[in-house]
Amino acid sequence: MPTELCLARLVRRDWLTDGPLSNLVASYAESLQTRRYADGTLQAYLRCLAHFSYWMRREGLAADDVDQKLIARFIQHHLPTCTCPAPRRSDVKEVRAALNHLQALLPEVDDGATTTTPLAAELERFGDHLRHTCGLAPPTCTYRVRHVEAFLFGRFGSDSPEIGLLAARDIDAFLNGLAARWKPASRKLVCTSLRSYLRFRAMLGDDTRILSATLPAIANWRRRNPPKVLSDVQLEHFLQAFDLTDPVGLRDYAIARCLLDLGLRGDEAAHLTLDSVDWRSGVVTLHSTKSQRVQHLPLPVQTGEALGRYLRQGRPQTGSRALFVRHRAPFGVPLSVAAIRNAMNRAFVRCGMADLFCNTHVLRRSMATRLQKTGASIKEIADLLRHRDLNTARVYARVDLERLRAVALPWPGSGS
């Protein structure tokens, strides 16, 4: 639909044409149309934009003033008490989505005048060390920096951290403060993050040996129970929850097969591309793995069939090389990890198992369990799951309870 026609349908089109955002309206509409947003959605977003433009004009603001803080101010403070003339668009979710598209069109401003705090500079150096020296995956770098930030801010505020002023009581106080809210496994990750930061400071010449020795070994007995997995019957019901006559159902079923048959993590499935599958050799190549290493997996027949059916009958026409893409506007955008997780959760709802299972990792564990029951060794399971440490896969040795009962010794004094 031409931009002129879109504006002609707006009751308050003068709020756009005569407002501070007038020069951006054409590119805004063109951007949404390029990503194949429906005409109704485009009209609704333009009405939201008109409301925002009217408010900006009343506040004496220009297009250069638009940033995340201004958008938050409009949504959080203006909308709840809005007295702008009707008709105006004031749905918070809709307004936020519309203005996010606007912000994507604005040129990036060099915020060189903004003062970077000493703590922020220190965290940036630490994050760069994790990414480029240690070669850690981006999610790992993110949570380690976040843990260290919480610890250093609690001790030094935004000032430059001085390792010489840290003592064992500072670490104890920080970890004790987490004890009431965080599980042992999470606190163990925090200790790993702090230990990683102390190693980083040791590389810079600081003596961190005492502080490193102060970090406790947090007990965590999370593996006392076998991992939660789908039984064969539950797995059959789960796979039947996908509508293979619908393009989205074909896509989600292909994702489920990748998680179940290849043991992929959600992030690995999200980063698959059309080039990841070698159809002639029957090999799937993973480039974005947790270990940051390129790895090759055999392509099972049922997985290849599901992928082939999706590519031929379900995948929309798009220039994106991502294997799994959105089927709604914005079209062609690769599915995020959250979108893949939500797709699997919707399938659990449809098959009536939402109260038992959720997310994607249960499918990966179910694959490992199926392998164990067929006689695969722990080493083979670890290799397929791409575990560096063999002990990580040993938990699956306790899944087959029937075999364990067969080899269990009688309890002393039980009389049997």
Residue 396 falls in the annotated catalytic set: yes
Query: Where do runs of H (alpha helix) occur along 319-360?
Result: 337-350
Choice among 290, 309, 341, 346 that is catalytic? 290
Instruction: Provide the residue type at 221 as one letter.
Output: W
Residue 147 falls in the annotated catalytic set: no
Neighbouring-strand partners of residue 284: 277, 297
Choice among 47, 144, 364, 370 that is catalytic? 364
Choice among 35, 309, 361, 394 that is catalytic? 361
The two tokens of residue 138 are 């981006």
Query: Where do runs of H (alpha helix) occur along 9-91?
Result: 14-17, 25-34, 39-59, 68-73
Whats the size of the chain, residue-wise? 416
Residue 101 falls in the annotated catalytic set: no
Choice among 88, 147, 201, 265 that is catalytic? 265
- Closest CA relative to residue 281, chosen from 258, 264, 297, 257: 297
Look up tokens 């060189």; give the residue: 112
What is the bridge-based pairing of β-strands 277-278 and 295-298?
A: unpaired
d(CA 79, CA 72): 10
Choice among 28, 45, 253, 396 that is catalytic? 396
d(CA 2, CA 22): 16
Instruction: Give the C-alpha distances (Å, rounded to integers) separating 147 from 41, 152, 164, 189, 193.
Output: 40, 9, 20, 9, 6
Q: Which residues contact 24 (CB under 8 A, 6 or more apart)?
A: 63, 102, 105, 106
d(CA 183, CA 162): 29
Residue 237 falls in the annotated catalytic set: no
Residue 361 falls in the annotated catalytic set: yes
Residue 78 falls in the annotated catalytic set: no
Q: Among all residues, which ones are annotated catalytic?
A: 265, 290, 361, 364, 387, 396
